[in-house]
Amino acid sequence: MKSLTKLQLSWIDKASDLRLEPRLLVEDPKRSYHRSSDGDESNRLIFGDNLLALKALERDFGGQIKCIYIDPPYNTGAALTHYDDGVEHSLWLSLMYHRLVLLRRLLKDDGSIWISIDDNECHYLKIVLDEIFGRSNFVTSIVWQKNYAPADHSVKISESHEYILVYAKDLKKWQPNRLPRRTSSDAKYKNPDNDPRGPWKPGDYTCSKTNIERPNLYYAITHPTTKVKIWPNKSRVWAYSKQQHQENVRQGLVWWGKKGINKVPSFKRFLSGVADEGTAPITVWPWSEVGHTQDGRKEQLLLLPNDPFPTPKPESLIQRILEIASGPGEWILDSFAGSGTTGAVAQKMRRRWIMVELGEHCHTHIIPRLKKVADGEDHGGITQAVGWKGGGGFRYFNIAPTLLKKDSRGQWVINTAYNAEMLAASICKLEGFTYGPSDIHYWQHGTSTENDFIYVTTQQLSAAQLQALSDEVGEGRTLLVCCSAFQGNDGCYPNLTVKKIPKMVLSRCEWGHDDYSLNVENLPKALRPQTPQHQSVIAGDEAGSEA
């Protein structure tokens, strides 16, 4: 039989090309909130379908996000107040697949993505992530103890954990931060010999190598009391060279026990030497360190006692992720914002954040919460732990309507909701230009290089107008002219490229589709489940053949 060279998860409609329209993000100043100038107000809250939002962010934030955390619907079949959490299995995979492709593009090369998930889809999601991010960029699977006691209503085995799958954009470039030391760890440090350097604890004096692998570390140490020569076990060697061992002895770092008769030495590790180093993160996170589901529920009751969000993550869980994966001032993204925990924690930790949410709880839960954070009126969660006093704010954005729509005759035309500025910005995004109108030249709406510009107008341009444009642009510069129609031969102007709108962009995107959410009725026909037999299977690049 042929071997499977690369395992992949396959399902119906996986390869569907959505041809997403890169929409504009339009700020609503009435919903934006600016508390003061002592915090970062570049934070963005986007209301709308998260797939369209991610596509809208791609041009300006591609390769800029340091840490992505998402808590997507788990596809459990449970009917939640704010989510329809339970869609057909292959449909859920398709929706996650397209979002993850865009999320990867937004990550910095040294960035990482963290995804909360449970057993229902975890292992399928892992294979999808292997395909998109590369199996070599898998960091780890973290176990979060979400409950501190078994559920009395559990029929079989009470579930007490969830997973957080962690992938790096490029594992060679990603470096996790060490966690702050807990004071409980200090209790392990004693000072039985009254060393003036303070408390210490014994550490291994050997390491797991053999004398064949590291022959220079396999030698005899003379016991200072018994004078017997001590050798490492056959499967280990000393952790220090002969020269370093002599230096350790000179500095009083070798410990043979309180009576000096231990059979093997230990290395004295002083508390003063490790207090500022922090500790390496581990893969099991108990509720006693990062909170549990009831903590998240209590935090919501404190913020919105009359309508708490039903399934929030505790702030201390998100704090742990951001401590490991980011630093102050770096961009954090959550495209399944839920109750807004990620943004609230990121702001308290002085990160910059982007959140996306489609549900009405964006207005009923997230905005009131973030206002309290900015005003310093959120006293729960990690507020005291990080010393948050308030400040900053956020900008609220809607996703612009589709650029093109059909008129009464079925012809594609420019959406009348677009003014001249929106049209120019949208065409810039579609053509790969950076929108930035010039105060000097009316025809400079955007740039792709310092000598390449774009001009967008709904006018019909005459040959004389094109010639005037060509003359003004001059030599050494080029201009893409986008207009509704033009006269003459565009090839007569070596520094101009003339295109008609909307014809120039008709084939680019799927126009007029506003909702790619997890609600089946909102999906394009290509993604809707056609039969109850849709199943996902593991396949390879080479199908196995009979021997």
pLDDT at 295: 81
* pLDDT tens readout for residues 157-180: 888 899 999 999 999 999 999 998
Compute and round to an integer the Cα radius of gyration of the chain: 30
Tell me which residue of 347, 337, 325, 315 sits closest to 42, measured CA to CA: 347
pLDDT means per 10 residues, the chain with 547 residues, are: 58 74 95 69 92 95 97 65 58 86 98 94 92 96 88 75 96 94 76 92 89 88 93 90 94 93 92 75 93 82 74 91 97 95 96 94 93 93 93 95 93 94 96 94 95 96 94 95 90 92 92 74 47 43 33
Beta strands 446-449 and 434-435: pairing type?
Answer: antiparallel
Contacts of range 134-138, beta carbons closer than 8 Å, 24 or more positions apart: 136/171, 137/167, 137/168, 137/169, 137/170, 137/171, 138/166, 138/167, 138/171
Nearest Cα to 523, choosing from 17, 95, 37?
95
Rounded CA-CA distance 454/442 in Å is 11
Q: Which pLDDT score, from 0 to 100, does residue 535 have?
A: 45
The 10s digit of each residue's pLDDT in 351-403 is 999 999 998 989 999 999 999 999 999 999 999 999 999 999 999 999 999 99
Number of C-beta neighbours around residue 371 at 10 A: 15
For CA atoms 100, 106, 112, 117, the dihedral sign is negative
What are phi and psi for residue 117, nearest 5 degrees? -160, 160
d(CA 408, CA 397): 30
* Alpha helix segments (H runs only) across 165-286: 242-250, 271-274
Set out the domains of the chain in order of their start, with CATH numbers. Answer: 7-19+45-180+279-399 (3.40.50.150), 183-274 (no CATH), 404-505 (no CATH)
**Cis previous bond, 72, omega within 30:** no
pTM assigned to the model? 0.80
At position 276, the amino acid (one-letter code) is D
